[in-house]
Amino acid sequence: MAACSFRRSIASQLSKVLDLPPENLIKSISAVPVSKKRQVADFQLSIASVTEDSSRNSLAQDLQFQAQKLAERLKCDAVVSEISAGPGTVNFTINRELLAKTVLQQVLKDGSEYGVKSELFSTVPRQKAVVEFSSPNIAKKFHIGHLRSTIVGNFIANLKVALGHEVTRINYLGDWGMQFGLLGVGFQRFGNKEKLKSSPLQHLFEVYVQMNKAAEDENTKELAKDFFRKLEEHDEQTLSLWKQFRDLSIEEYIRIYKRLGVHFDEYSGESFYQEKSQEVLKMLEDKGLLQKTIKGTGIVDLSEKKDLSSFSTVMRSDGTSLYITRQVNLAAAIDRMNKHSWDTMIYVTDKSQSNHFQHLFQILKLMGYDWAERCQHVSFGLVQGMKTRRGEVIFLEDVLNEVRSRMLQNMASAKTTKETEDPMDTAEKVGLAALIIQDFRGLLSSDYQFSWNRALQSRGDTGVFLQYTHARLHSLEQMHGNKQLTDVNVACLQEPDAISVLQHLLRYDEVLYRSSQDLQPKHIVSYLLTLSHLTAVAHKTLPVKGSAPEVAQARLCLFQAARSVLANGMKLLGITPVTQM
């Protein structure tokens, strides 16, 4: 990684002056974000992070003075061409030609691994991770919360894979429970085998809605209970109908997820753990953790003082297991540990379930499972106001079709649109980029108001702008031939706009590192938007066409590097870069 060699070089000089091992200094040296207003240095060292006595109360002028003193003791060399002191920092500017040469060589050599090979990750152990995300309920709406879970979970899994971890992606379906009683009876009444085969999700939803209206009738309620009881007793006929519902639904889910660019290694579900949830209740009982209330419900005391100030209900008074033991399922967590022996397990759901997961992890800990510490709930906020032209979102496919048709319309009316080979496919990929960027721009935990117009704008900080930049850089390469650029004269890349792009490329590993630490995609999003803006400026001021061959070659190499990093970052976010638009 280009940045690594520079950081190491700066650290080794600092280590002699400060008498500290260079390893301790590397993390304190960070790339400086590019500024629109002025030229900035490439790296800075924060004085507070290396001075022993700077216990939080160091005054700003002390730090400034220390920075000044340290800067005076350091010398420029073949790598560093300028050293200056800032407010509490020492700034280092890398020799301009070396910067260009090192960054471009590294980006083009590492390709899709640029940034992830950085030594920033050298202390991060390779792990086995399980990520559970999406998790819709069969026969119910695939609401916007499921869409958010799908794209966030996909991002986390992509990032982990890119960093060399072994990831299992699990979709934990709502495929059991009383709703299947209603559905079974409903299908016998209103069902249609052809419709079930051709569009299972829609047909089961319609049957379920019709049955819910009929369910006020006591007789219907009894029939539904009866059907579900048969299901629990594994009656062959009932089970075979349920299996059909589940299998056909999964087939259709797979097809729709494919449009989103998402796949799963395992389709699990509540149905897998009915028997096991009874075992879990027995384990709780054996460990003396299960208490009965006067009403007969089973609870687990989670309070520190054991005064029931905090508890979790795990069993209804009629003895059936409740949401926590079945749905997210202690049994599922325990089973996965036995099966995958993972190092970390991440659940991706909206923040209304935070309490629920806290309880889940606490109970696992009380049961003596130390690995509960390695479970993590990544929660996200709510999206308001997402509607399609047909009204409220019911199926994921509605969203995909809507985004595609709106994008097709925009492309048809835009002046810059070129003829593309497959406009439907391009519109879908660009539209998805728009949805994903709008979703990932802020902190995942914040709620936001959805707007089609804002998401699909071609200017400004949108997914459309990222795709447009990528397509434009791609066609530049096509036009001028993308030769393997080995002998570029980097002296031709000294203009401020070229340096800004190079400086920004230098920072990529730090941005990946931040996202890997807090699992927030926003760091990568803002990095890619800035990269696109900087590249757009350079594209205007540094033309390839009509420049001297040597200059054209160097600029082409710069744009190729920018496109490569842009594509890598987009793919991590779950976006497929388009080459025409």
Catalytic residues: 140, 143, 146
**Strand 387-388 and strand 290-292: pairing?**
unpaired
| 352 and 358 Cβ atoms separated by less than 8 Å | no
Report residue 312: phi and psi, to 5°: -130, 130
**Does residue 138 sit in helix, strand or coil?**
coil
Could you tell me the two tokens for 245?
């519902």
Cα(117)–Cα(1) distance, integer angstroms: 7
**Does residue 124 sit in helix, strand or coil?**
coil
Three-state SS string over 88-139 comes to CEEEEEECHHHHHHHHHHHHHHHHHHCCCCCHHHCCCCCCEEEEECCCCECC
Any alpha helices (H) in 301-375, and if so which ranges? 323, 330-340, 354-366
Bridge partners of 383?
448
3-state helix, strand, coil in the chain (%, to 5): 60, 15, 30
Polymer length of the chain: 581
Report residue 263: phi and psi, to 5°: -135, 160
Cα(552)–Cα(545) distance, integer angstroms: 7
Burial class (CB in 10 A: 0-12, 13-18, 19+), 72: exposed
Three-state SS string over 466-483 comes to HHHHHHHHHHHHHHHCCC
Residue whose tokens read 């996909």: 154
Cβ neighbours of 459 (radius 10 Å):
8
